[in-house]
Each structure stands twice: as structure tokens, then as C-alpha cells.
Amino acid sequence: MTNNNDERRTAPRRRRKSGVPTLLVIVLIIIAMLMGGLVGYAVARKTNPYLHELQAQKDRVMELENTLTLIGYPVDEDVDPEQWLYDRNPEEDALAALTGETWDEATDDDVWGNESLLDGTLPEDGESVVVAEFDGGELLSNEVIPAYNDQLTTAIFAGHDADEVAEDTLKSVLEQLAGDKVIAAQARELGLTELTAEDLSQIDAKAAENYENQLSDYIAFVGETDRDAAAKALEEGGVTLASITEQLKQSWWTQKYYDYTVKDVTVTDEDVQARYDALLAEQKADFAATPENFEYAHQTGRAIVYRPEGYRAVRDILIPFESDGDAARAADLLSDLEMIDEDPDALAQTQKDLDALYAPLEQKAAEAQQKLADGAAFADLMDEYGTSEALKAEPLRSEGFYISDASFVNSAEFVEGAMMLEQPGQVSSPLRSASGVHLVEYIADVAPGEVPLDEARDAVAADALKEKQAAYYDQQRKTLLEQAHVKYYPERLH
């Protein structure tokens, strides 16, 4: 994740009491990404138009972690984790719906591998057996068990009870992997699994972006370290640019197949109206309950048909830190300020360290302020000095972020400084964040209330098309599976 994005997700957090082992850090990063993609697993593999949103989901995980801290989640104290868990009621007899048998008939105690690392996971040793078959192919247990264990482990780390989610998880994995094989066979027939020069170029670019994001995540999580040390640690955990590239090569055909399948889907005026009505009801409830979702929806370019009260649009000039290490150091020091407010000596030293770290950035900010005073355009200085990552492209470059007094998505100092501005056109004094130093311009107030359909038509139509394409793809996939006569044998897993 690039540093320029940090000011929108870095809120005061409690600092770790001691260091974290390298391997544990890597595991936690991977788990965080998986937790952000629990829904994303099904979304990315089943309704592929949302592949491009997986990175946004990862950003969202970090934002929500910060929000938990701000609302009082006690990171360092002993707590009862059960009070923070979402308790759902899983579908009963999920495997019965898949196989026609009851769960008791389909399995026995050995299925859940008592010798496994975690309760509920399946042992990965032993002879491989067929657990699903279909016209032209079969699915083996050695293909299912690792995927099942990964998903179940992720669910366990997310706070679910293995006994409650195991059936649903196994059912989902069996259906998904069998379906993938059926779909892959058709994709091969269509020539969509062959990678073109353009595909390889896009894969290289995406792999590089993903790798840089994981490096930045690691550095931000650990604290003071450098790029080479982070790269080595990730490599020890099996994460390299080459491994990411290979993973993308293996899965790239899925988006190509999806695009081919839905290429003729269109929407009508009735579809657009129906989607508008649904979004309006959803957003009124969602944004009232969780205001930062409004800010996040705007930043990620989602269709917005309702705006809460009290928001203004702002944009920034960002003078970033020269390195990820400096940014990580700043994040730690800013967190320290929240922890040592009763220790005057420690507070003074931390403030001194912060002043030294920010001094060169604030000097550049002073230069930018003088250029603004001399008549330079704010947008021109965004190009000269830099700006937050999301503001580098339209429409956010012109529209800016949406913030209010209650904002959680941006850092506290960013929000406070921006909200102190009295009228559009004013620019803040230099504001510190974990990304660097910001000069924030107050662009305009955000008109509250319902957004007329005519004003939001293009965005709503795009959203309606995405939804209709996903539904069409799901139906086509279901039809292909029915035509392939898939049979499942979960009782063979042991």
C-alpha cells in the first residue's frame, strides 16, 4: 500500500508493548488480507467483475481496524473477545443440500482430523481420492483440502466457531473448485487461457503493484525497518514478486472468461430505476449507521445517491516522507503521543523526535505556502509537490475528499485542520500525518440529501450493469455445472 494513502486510514492507535516476530507479522498480514476477502473469495472467483475491488477491501480492513480503536476497542487490555464477534446462524445441513445425504450420513468424526493444527481442519497427508466428478473431469481431495483448510482457518481467526462454519465452508469449497474446473475447460476451448503479450504486460504491472503494497504493509506493521529487510522477511514467508506474478498468471484467465461471458449484457431504464431505488434505501440506512462508509464510497468511486449532512469537500498538497521507514517511524511516534500523555518527559522527547522528522517536510510546505501567496494555483502545486494517491486522478482530483467533524477515514489532524477552515478557497496551515505534511484546501460544502437520478444516472447505470452482469454470469455458471452433471463425495475426505 502506498504511503500517500496512509492519511486516510491512519488514526491514533495503541502501540504494541513489544516486538513482533517476523513470521508472525507475515502471517498476520496474510490473514488480514484474507479476512478482508472472506466475501471477496466468493466474489473474486464467482462474480469476477469485482476483482479490481480486492485491493480496496484490503484498505478497508485497515480503516476498520483503526475505527475499532477509536471507538474504544481495548487493544492492550484483557477483553472478552466474544462481545466483538458477529454471531451468524449458518445454513443447517449444508452438505445435505449438496449431496442429498444428511451430515451424519456423509461424514464421521475422523473427517475433522483430530491431529490437525486447528480444530476442524483436515489432514493433508494420505492418499488422494476423488471427491467430485463431472463430465470430462474430476476433483481430488488433495486439491480440496488445502483450500478448505485455508478458508476455515481464516474463519477461525475471524472469530467463528469451526463446528458452526465447517459444513458451509466445505460445501462452498467443493462447489467452487468443481465449478472452476468446469469453467476452465470451456475457457480452454475458447482459447481464453492463453496469455497474450498484452496479458503478460498487465500481469507484470499488477504484480509489481501488489508486491509494493505488501512491502509497505509490512513496513507499516513492523515499524522501523528498511525496504531490503522487509523484502527479505516477505521472501522468508514465501511472498516474492515472482510468486505474485505466477499466481496472477494462473488466475488471469478468470477475468477474461468473465468478460467474454457478460459482453452482451445491457441494462434498461427500468433496471437503472430499480437499482437507484435500492441504493437509496441502502445508503440512507448505511450512512446513518456508519458515516465513514459515505466517505469511503466516495473515495472508491461508488455510485452515491444519498449524502449525509455536515460534509465538505477538500483536497491536499502532500509533501511525503522520503522513505517507508520514515513514514513507519512517524506512525509509531504519533501513536506514542496517545500512550504517554501522563509522562511529561517522554511526551517532550517524542514531540522533539517528531519535530526533527517533520522539519524537512515542513520547510517544503512553507515554500509551497509562499507560492500560493504569490498566486500559484493549488492544482499546479499538487502536481509539483504531490498529493494523496486517490487525488491523482479525476474525478477525485477536482472533487476532493468528503470529510466531517465525525470523520474516521482521515487522520485526526487532517480532519481537524480541514474543518477549521471557514470558507471555500481557504488553505490550511501544514498538517502532519503518517504520510507526511499536508496543505488542505477547502473546496466546497457537500449538498446533503437525496441525489436526483438524473444527476447520478451514469454511476447508477454502471452499478446496475455490474450487478446484472454478475447475476447473468452466476446463472451461466450454474447452467454449465448442471450440464456437467457434477456429483460430490465429501464423505471421502478424511
Per-domain residue ranges for the chain? 21-57+73-265+484-492
Average pLDDT over residues 304-310: 96
- Residue 93, Ramachandran bin (φ over 0: left; ψ between -120 and 50: alpha; else beta): left
Q: How many CB atoms lie within 10 A of CB 146?
A: 13
Model pLDDT, residue 120: 73
Lowest mean pLDDT of 150-154, 310-314, 334-338, 433-437, name the range: 334-338
Model pLDDT, residue 372: 96
Please tell me the distance from the alpha carbon of residue 445 to that of residue 176, in angstroms, as a whole number.
Answer: 46
Model pLDDT, residue 228: 85
Residues 346-386: pLDDT tens digits? 888 888 999 999 999 999 999 999 999 999 999 999 999 99
In a 3-state reduction of DSSP, which class is residue 318?
Answer: strand
Average pLDDT over residues 293-307: 93
pLDDT category at 230 given cuts 50, 70, 90 is confident
pLDDT category at 39 given cuts 50, 70, 90 is very low
Average pLDDT over residues 15-19: 34
Whether 405 and 415 have beta carbons less than 8 Å apart is answered as yes
Please tell me the distance from the alpha carbon of residue 427 to that of residue 317, in angstroms, as a whole number.
Answer: 10
The answer to whether residue 393 scores a pLDDT higher than 70 is yes
Task: Provide the β-strand partners of residue 431.
Answer: 438
Please tell me the distance from the alpha carbon of residue 340 to that of residue 407, in angstroms, as a whole number.
Answer: 24
Please tell me the distance from the alpha carbon of residue 99 to that of residue 185, in angstroms, as a whole number.
Answer: 23
**Helical (H) or strand (E) element with 3:** none
Closest CA to 221 of 21, 68, 431: 21
Closest CA to 193 of 202, 183, 201: 183
| Predicted TM-score (pTM) of this structure | 0.69
Model pLDDT, residue 99: 53
Cα angle: 205, vertex 320, 32; to 5 degrees = 55
In a 3-state reduction of DSSP, which class is residue 94?
Answer: helix
Whether 262 and 469 have beta carbons less than 8 Å apart is answered as yes
Which residues, at least 6 apart from 143, have a Cβ–Cβ distance to it below 8 Å? 177
Model pLDDT, residue 432: 92
pLDDT category at 70 given cuts 50, 70, 90 is very low
pLDDT category at 225 given cuts 50, 70, 90 is low
Average pLDDT over residues 40-54: 37
pLDDT category at 119 given cuts 50, 70, 90 is low
Which residues, at least 6 apart from 182, have a Cβ–Cβ distance to it below 8 Å? 134, 137, 480, 481, 484, 486
Please tell me the distance from the alpha carbon of residue 185 to that of residue 194, in angstroms, as a whole number.
Answer: 12
Average pLDDT over residues 154-165: 88
pLDDT category at 337 given cuts 50, 70, 90 is confident
